[in-house]
């Protein structure tokens, strides 16, 4: 079946650096994408989303980029902080169907 | 309330025993979703409800797993005759819409021994 996946399972960055977490998807019909952050012992927490009619969306310290040509999604975190350490998941929906997740990337921020 | 409440937080069952997990969605949310997460890996979609009706059950194992959302009661996910491979964290989410605005609970960690 079609899936949402990630290029790198782990990412380690220095505090203050920018982080980029990548996600590849294979369903060209996907029209809505979401990034979630999961801290230890907690459920996924919404970070930012983007619809397929957009290429870029910015939030506070986070930016999501969507490249539909190569079916690639990325999450950029500016000035990464220790509190950003978590597992990050991308997710997608198609039409009126419910959400499907990809595998996570563990981000570790070194002080 | 403004949070999805899942109970219990932890559940230990011997192989072959029944496990029942509960989820109270946010008031006003019509949709409830169940996901299974094994070892911090990806979330496997199990089933979703629109009010008390099954919306999508394509992820539900055919045997042993069942779920309900009845009016004025928490939603439930039940596993009959648990197996070791059922050990996972089960997350519930609720939303006003099927495709976005999901709020997740903190999960129930099921350990089958």
Distance from CA of B18 to the nearest CA of A (A): 24
Q: State phi, psi for A24 to the nearest 5 degrees.
A: -110, 140
How many other CB atoms sit within 10 Å of the CB of residue A7? 12
- Please give chain A's pLDDT, 111 residues, in tens: 233 554 448 999 999 999 999 999 888 899 999 999 999 989 999 999 999 999 999 999 999 999 999 999 999 999 999 999 999 999 999 888 888 998 889 999 998
Q: Which of A41, A47, A19 minimizes the C-alpha distance to B105? A: A41
**CATH code: domain of residue A90:** 2.60.40.10
B-chain residues near A32 (CB < 8 A):
99-100
Task: Give the closest of A43, A98, A103 to B56, CB-based.
Answer: A98
Q: Which of the listed CATH numbers 2.60.40.10, 2.70.98.60, 3.90.1150.10, 1.10.3720.10 matches domain B5-112?
A: 2.60.40.10
Residue with the larger pLDDT of the pair B98 and A78: A78
- Mark which residues 12-51 of B lie under 8 Å from A by CB: 31, 33, 35, 40-43, 45, 48
Residue A18's domain comprises 4-110
Q: Is the CB of residue B7 less than 8 Å away from at least one CB of chain A?
A: no
| Six-digit token string for A108 | 């570790």
Query: How many separate domains does chain A show?
Result: 1
Task: Give the closest of B4, B33, B100 to A49, CB-based.
Answer: B100
In Å, how far are A32, A80, A86, B46 from A29, measured between CA atoms? 9, 32, 29, 21
Rounded to an integer, the average pLDDT of B12-30 is 97
Q: Is the pLDDT of residue B48 over 80?
A: yes
Contacts with B72 (C-beta within 8 Å, 6 or more apart), sequence order: none
């Amino acid at each position: 079946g079609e899936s949402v996946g990630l290029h790198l399972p782990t990412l380690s960055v220095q505090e203050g650096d920018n982080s980029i977490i990548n996600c590849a998807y294979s369903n060209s019909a996907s029209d809505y994408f979401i990034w979630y952050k999961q801290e230890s012992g907690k459920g996924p927490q919404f970070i930012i989303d983007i619809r397929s009619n957009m290429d870029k969306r910015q939030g506070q310290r986070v930016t999501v980029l969507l490249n539909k040509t190569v079916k690639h999604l990325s999450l950029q975190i500016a000035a990464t902080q220790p509190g950003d350490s978590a597992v990050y998941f991308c997710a997608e929906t198609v039409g009126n169907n419910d959400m499907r997740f990809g595998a996570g990337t563990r981000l570790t921020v070194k002080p | 309330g403004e949070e999805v409440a899942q109970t219990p937080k932890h559940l230990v069952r011997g192989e072959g025993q029944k496990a029942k997990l509960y989820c109270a969605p946010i008031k006003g949310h019509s949709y409830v979703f169940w996901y299974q997460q094994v070892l911090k890996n990806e979330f496997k979609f199990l089933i979703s409800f629109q009010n008390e009706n099954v919306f999508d059950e394509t992820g539900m194992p055919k045997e042993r797993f069942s779920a309900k959302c009845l009016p004025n009661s928490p939603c439930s996910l039940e596993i009959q005759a648990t197996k070791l491979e059922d050990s996972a964290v089960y997350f519930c989410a609720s939303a006003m819409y099927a495709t976005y605005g999901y709020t997740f609970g903190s999960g129930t960690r099921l350990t089958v021994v």
